[in-house]
Amino acid sequence: MPPRAKEKEPAAPPVRPLIAVNTDFIAPKNGVPFAKLNVGYIDAILTAGGLPVVLPPLRKDNLADIDALLDQCAGIVLTGGADMDPRRNGQPLTAVVNPMPGRREDSDRYLLAKIFERKIPVLGIGVGMQQLNVFAGGTLHMHLPADNPKALPHFDQTGAPHRHMVLIEENTRLDDIYGTQELRVNSTHHQAINQMGKRMRVAAKAPDGVIEAIESTDPNWFCVGVQWHPEADTASALDVQIFECFVQAAVRNSDVALAAA
């Protein structure tokens, strides 16, 4: 009898680039502290072709230990959350500000330093966008209704979903990603960018002039921040594209780094 042909082994799945995602830190008054990450970020990265790697908010004396993990990641998503503590940026803490726990802010600031130092591809979402701008030397409006009374509503006080239009600036990376000048987005923020950080530019505004997206002026660095939440269930169908373009840019950046090594 002729020898039986060997069955073909199933093809190995494509290797996904590792995408780091920072997490929130929850410390209830009566309960055990824990890290938290909305699953929308995980699913959005997976859908875009990446493999999410959770970055926990480490204690101050352990922050440098995360460098080894960053060495393996092609990009970072900075997630949404509570407000940055304005006292760390030379502004007073008022009743309208809901500062994030210090442990998360310490961890995030360490990540931001590494992101800017290494030019790691980054997508900042919600407060993640604000952090990119502040780290670059920019400032924030602490509370839109008070700082900019002419601003349109950017959140629903009842917690219900809220949406509004944003106008994307021409000849920006965001323009290339979405391919449209008008986009309807979800909106849950009460703070916003005031002064732009150095080597950052406006990528989109709301019709009332509130800055809704920013990006680095460096054409070789994917550094984009959006005030809306493209990972959420209320996101536009077009928002899939920002995660896809981010993951693709992260892969290209890794290929360039390997070639130069």
pLDDT tens per residue across all 261 residues of the chain: 566 656 666 666 678 999 999 999 999 989 999 999 999 999 999 999 999 999 999 999 999 999 999 999 999 999 999 999 999 998 899 999 999 999 999 999 999 999 999 999 999 999 999 999 999 999 999 999 888 888 888 988 888 889 999 999 999 999 999 999 999 999 999 999 999 999 999 999 999 999 999 999 999 999 999 999 999 999 999 999 999 999 999 999 887 766 665
Question: CB–CB of 201/215 below 8 Å?
Answer: yes
How far apart CA 194 and CA 168 sit, in angstroms, is: 18
At 3 the pLDDT is 60
Q: How many other C-beta atoms are found inside a 10 Å radius of the C-beta of residue 103? A: 17
At 111 the pLDDT is 98
CATH for 18-25+34-260 is 3.40.50.880
How far apart CA 229 and CA 77 sit, in angstroms, is: 12
At 160 the pLDDT is 84
Question: CB–CB of 151/142 below 8 Å?
Answer: no
How far apart CA 53 and CA 229 sit, in angstroms, is: 19
How far apart CA 226 and CA 212 sit, in angstroms, is: 6
Q: Is 98 exposed, middle or buried (0-12, 13-18, 19+ CB in 10 A)?
A: exposed
At 208 the pLDDT is 94
At 161 the pLDDT is 86
- pTM for the full predicted model: 0.93
At 132 the pLDDT is 98
> Phi, psi at residue 220, to the nearest 5°?
-95, 5
**Which amino acid is it at 65?**
D
